[in-house]
Chain A
């Protein structure tokens, strides 16, 4: 009888220990899930915000080819003036007769917002004929285009 009572007294410790263990497990797993979900959601929201900002910048681009003239000098050159009238800075290349300027793949001409940049003089290689029509395309790194049709005098 005494032995049974002693065992009953000892059994009282087990529920406390198991409750503590279970709580510790719940807290640990919960903490991991919490940390993971917080990290994942922070990354997701940052990615989303960045992609929305990038998309907003893309649709915010506004630019025109404002003026073009051809100078038959010692080296015949085409002068192209691109005006960025939008609210975001842009990076531009110009394409004339299938050739891209600047031709280096990673070289873009930066045009700050509300500014016009005279494009670096474009050497067409061959002298265009008088009355020849040049279709000029300016395009940005974000993929927007502006066109200009120039009739060589």
Chain B
């Protein structure tokens, strides 16, 4: 084996070059790849978390109800109630009463009963003034109480609007007849109304009284769907999705 000459010198250089190459790989290339992979992993994690946040936002099923009270103890008061009908808990961060915002931190458990979250006393109600209530959750949903509440000096709270709303979006067909009858315990029914409806067209029935109502949907003369709608003071609006 020669220890002098060209091949020996080439051998030394090859070893040095290899050491340097391996050094570059370990000290520069591999750390770079690790940083890139870590950044990619964090990005993917963020995307995943955002996907969950967006999905949870869409899954929130919070309903807002407003009860009106006008007693000696609670003069002209709005009692704001919520019910979480969804499968995830909802955190309420803000309540809007017209243009006034009230900061809240109220957690509503999934599939909850109707819970009172705030009692708002209107200090000096203006005649025929209306109150529009909106609740905001920490996931960025705003849920409104979907009927206007009015204060009238003669009548007090004028919030007798009780609605059965019907939206047909999955039954086969295009034109339907909707019949709403009730309340169940009062005979003959004080409310018996019919309306024609197109698919995806919401229909509103102002039933005015508490009680159980029957919603029947006809296509032609054949009744194809029926559902009971319960209207209470605490839950004055009932939606039928068929």
Interface positions, chain B 1-47, Cβ under 8 Å from A, are: 4-5, 8-9, 12-13, 16-17, 19-20, 23-24, 27-29, 31-32, 35-36, 38-40, 42-43, 46-47
Q: Judging by beta carbons under 8 Å apart, are A49 and B35 in contact? A: yes
> A33 at the A/B interface (Cβ < 8 Å)?
yes
Q: Which residues of B contact A85 (CB under 8 A)?
A: 138-140
Q: Judging by beta carbons under 8 Å apart, are B20 and A33 in contact? A: yes
A-B contact number at CB 8 A: 106
Interface size grouping (class) on chain B: 35 or more
Q: Judging by beta carbons under 8 Å apart, are A41 and B31 in contact? A: yes
Q: Judging by beta carbons under 8 Å apart, are A34 and B24 in contact? A: yes
Which residue on A lies nearest to B29, using beta carbons? A41
Q: Which among B24, B46, B140 is the interface contact of A60 at CB below 8 angstroms?
A: B46
**Interface-facing stretch out of A63-71, A90-98, A125-133, A134-142:** A63-71
In the complex, how many angstroms separate the beta carbon of B145 from the nearest chain A beta carbon?
A: 15
Q: Which among B39, B50, B99 is the interface contact of A52 at CB below 8 angstroms?
A: B39
Interface of B is mostly: helix
> B64 at the A/B interface (Cβ < 8 Å)?
no
Q: Which among B9, B17, B42, B43 is the interface contact of A19 at CB below 8 angstroms?
A: B9
In the complex, how many angstroms separate the beta carbon of A65 from the nearest chain B beta carbon?
A: 10
Q: Judging by beta carbons under 8 Å apart, are A49 and B36 in contact? A: yes
Task: Apart from A15-B9, A37-B29, A38-B27, list 17 A-B contacts with CB within 8 A.
Answer: A19-B9, A26-B20, A30-B19, A34-B28, A42-B28, A44-B32, A48-B36, A49-B36, A52-B42, A55-B43, A62-B53, A63-B140, A64-B140, A66-B96, A69-B99, A85-B140, A114-B93
A contact residues vs B (CB 8 Å cutoff): 12, 15-16, 18-19, 22-23, 26-27, 30-31, 33-34, 37-38, 40-42, 44-46, 48-49, 52-53, 55-56, 59-60, 62-64, 66-67, 69, 79, 81, 83, 85, 114, 116
